[in-house]
Amino acid sequence: RKEVEQDPGPFNVPEGATVAFNCTYSNSASQSFFWYRQDCRKEPKLLMSVYSSGNEDGRFTAQLNRASQYISLLIRDSKLSDSATYLCVVNAPGGYQKVTFGTGTKLQVIP
Amino acid sequence: DTAVSQTPKYLVTQMGNDKSIKCEQNLGHDTMYWYKQDSKKFLKIMFSYNNKELIINETVPNRFSPKSPDKAHLNLHINSLELGDSAVYFCASSLGGASTDTQYFGPGTRLTVL
């Protein structure tokens, strides 16, 4: 099983739709979780951290499910500008400074 | 003001050549990283330095040698370039190097080996 797995997509959704991505991780000892966003031919940028209690930032909500070892990202009222690849990031076992990136889920918001 | 900068942005070179990529951060961070993103978009860590000290050294060929002259700079030198080295190389930095720290990425260097 890969350390971090994501559905590559693409997810094609109309503007205004709600879309959710999941990401599973293999190591139950992982403690830090993030969602990064990467636009085409650009660098990844932090979208949000994922806390045990879940967190929300505007139209974006992130959740952590430790029992099932997955994190999720929910985007409400999708905008064209949300089109990007969303990378799930989990801290790697055994190394406090090392995180593992998922291969990303591509989202395309259609007018 | 660019927080993490890399040069060059594009690098096209022949197999067998030696090339370097430079990275600088002006965020005052202690930790810097090099990542490789291949054609399948998989972003994999190569090296990490904390205050000029090598912290992470993944399974990377010896042809790749990072150098950190000070904590604001982390350069990557690649000897005897191979076709498989073609990828986008991202430099990143974080405040203290803990896995809870946000990583800030440079714009990437697109390396093409012919």
pLDDT in tens, A35-92: 999 999 999 999 999 988 889 999 999 999 999 999 999 999 999 999 999 999 998 7
Half-sphere exposure of A61 (CA within 13 A, CB side): 9
Q: Is the pLDDT of residue A96 over 70?
A: no
A5: enclosing H helix or E strand: strand A4-6
A31/B48 Cβ within 8 A: no
Q: Which of A43, A96, A100 to mutate to test the interface with B (most CBs of B within 10 A)?
A: A43
Of A46, A91, A97, the CB nearest to B102: A46
Q: Write the Ramachandran bin of A96: left for phi over 0, alpha for psi from -120 to 50, otherwise beta.
A: alpha
Q: Which of A23, A88, A97 to mutate to test the interface with B (most CBs of B within 10 A)?
A: A97
Residue of B nearest to A46 (CA): B102
Of the candidates A73, A91, A86, the one whose C-alpha atom is nearest the C-alpha of residue B94 is A91
E strands, chain B, in order: 4-7, 10-13, 19-25, 31-37, 43-50, 53-57, 64-70, 73-78, 87-94, 104-105, 109-113
Phi, psi of B70 (to 5 degrees): -155, 175
pLDDT at B108: 97
B107/A31 Cβ within 8 A: no
pLDDT at A51: 83
